[in-house]
């Protein structure tokens, strides 16, 4: 199974997709927004550039998730912080429709929320305030949860940060990926198999 592109991963955050989690999904999403204001998010390092869509808190949540989901796979490969996954997500959302940005923000609020964590006997502090090992445990709990909405949230967040991380050119050399093929070189390599569509048109077809 291939990893979706960053653009395609945004579809996982749609309100319709999230509410497939069944009865209580809407209430849980609403609870995420309420509880987030009760405890502060640990901001960490500021992004390298000004944010366009995400708040500093939302950027910090995404960066913390990416740090655990996409650790550096080798000594010569940059980690999620070096790649700037949080900032990449902000730029991705700046090109998406406003409704998608709202959905992503709702999911981040839900995931960060210590009150939601307490509801499931998981934690009482925001995700960003936890130690790395505790963050790993939270991610696994959401991945393996019996609650469909929590599994959906994990899939949406992990898919987006993974697509952004492995889609960054700075990661490719260290994992042995040569990068996408050059269209000009690809066409030249397969010149004998390329069909000239113009030659297949019937005379005068362009005037029909």
8 A C-beta contact, residue 44 and residue 64: yes
Domain assignments of the chain as residue spans, ordered by start: 6-181
Given this model, what pLDDT does residue 149 score?
Answer: 87
Name the CA dihedral angle for 70, 140, 128, 171, rounded to a multiple of 10 degrees.
0
Q: Mean pLDDT for the chain?
A: 84
**Inter-CA distances, 149 with 116, 121, 146, 207, Å:** 12, 16, 9, 55
Positive or negative: CA dihedral 115, 118, 120, 126: positive
| pTM across the whole model | 0.80
Q: Picking from 39-48, 127-136, 173-182, which range would have the lowest pLDDT averaged per residue?
A: 173-182
Residue 205: pLDDT over 70: no
Cβ–Cβ under 8 Å, residues 90 and 59: yes
């Amino acid at each position: 199974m291939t990893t979706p592109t960053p653009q395609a991963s945004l579809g996982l955050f749609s309100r319709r997709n999230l509410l497939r989690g069944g009865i209580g999904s809407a209430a849980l999403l609403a609870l995420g927004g309420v509880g987030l204001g009760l405890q502060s998010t640990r901001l960490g390092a500021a992004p390298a550039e000004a944010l366009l869509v995400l708040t500093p808190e939302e950027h910090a949540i995404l960066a913390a998730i990416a740090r655990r989901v996409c650790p550096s796979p080798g000594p010569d490969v940059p980690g999620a912080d070096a790649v700037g996954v949080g900032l990449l997500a902000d730029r991705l959302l700046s090109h998406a429709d406003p409704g998608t940005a709202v959905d992503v923000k709702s999911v981040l609020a839900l995931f960060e929320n210590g009150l939601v964590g307490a509801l499931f006997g998981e934690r009482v502090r925001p995700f960003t305030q936890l130690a790395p090992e505790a963050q790993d445990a939270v991610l696994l709990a959401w991945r393996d949860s019996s609650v469909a909405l929590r599994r959906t949230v994990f899939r949406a967040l992990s898919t987006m940060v993974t697509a952004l991380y492995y889609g960054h050119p700075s990661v490719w050399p260290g994992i042995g990926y040569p990068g996408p093929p050059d269209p000009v070189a690809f066409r030249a390599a397969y010149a004998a198999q390329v069909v000239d569509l113009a030659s297949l048109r019937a005379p005068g077809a362009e005037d029909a």
